[in-house]
Amino acid sequence: MTSFSHQTQQNIEFIADLFRQSKRAVILTGAGISTPSGIPDFRSADTGLWARDEPLEVASLTTFRTAPESFFAWFRPLAKQIFYAQPNPAHLALAELEKLGLIETIITQNIDALHQKAGSKNVIEMHGTMRTLTCAQCYHQVEAEPYINVFVETNQMPHCPKCGGRLKPDVILFGEQLPQAAWFKAQRAARQCDLMLVAGSSLEVLPVAGLPMQALDRCAHLVVVNNTPTYLSVRADAEILDDVATVIPAITERVKWQK
């Protein structure tokens, strides 16, 4: 059993009580919820992907179109890490809260589908997903698994089974807009919720980082579980600066105990 400080334990109990009282709880997750599953984040000073790579050079739509070899060379190790990753206790705990009827929606900035692997059903993927690929030429969409497996093992770029065009992972690259339908759903969820939990996000990437403000503007409670403070630390009802993979399961256990 994880040992928490007295203050953290008090915050866990307080957050659990907010979940019990909530009617429309929404979760916003970022890269920090998946790092315990072995997936690197993008912005950490020493370990983030952008600490060693220039994002516009390797992860842009322009690079995919004009220098696909460079894009796929960068993407291959990340694809392997993401595709074979498994949910950690934080993902599983959120899925359990959803099964208990205490979470209405999960909005995620992640592309790893670990929420779905954990059992969560109502997930809005703001930055796309690794689960599918779409042909850049004829727009035929395919399930990613067989193509990613071959790509990871042989470094052979995936091509469309219909026209032979290059298959692009259905993730949002630099130079692409957020998926409109997902953005509208996320805004609606943020504006209608009475509780928002931000888990593993530094809230630095717009426009998603603005969603908690939309919730606050409509008098929702805001709680943050993250390794570092965010720009909304002063507005949060509670903030726990600790590992999401230990704190969120503790919140879930407390909710179950209180029920």
Catalytic residues: 127
Q: Is the peptide bond before 207 cis (omega within 30 degrees of 0)?
A: yes
Q: What DSSP designation does 133 have?
A: E
52 membership: H or E segment, kind and range: none
The answer to whether 160 and 166 have CB atoms below 8 angstroms apart is yes
The H or E element spanning position 69 is helix 68-83
User: Position 149: which residue type?
Assistant: N
Q: What is the DSSP letter of 250?
A: H
Do 167 and 142 touch, CB atoms closer than 8 A?
Answer: yes
Amino acid at 141: Q
Q: What is the rounded distance in angstroms from the CA atom of residue 31 to the CA atom of residue 36?
A: 10
Contacts of 150 (CB under 8 A, 6+ apart): 156, 158
* Element housing 207 (H / E): none
What sign results for the dihedral spanned by CA atoms 30, 169, 93, 45?
negative
**Taking a C-beta distance cutoff of 8 angstroms, is the pair 50, 43 a contact?**
yes
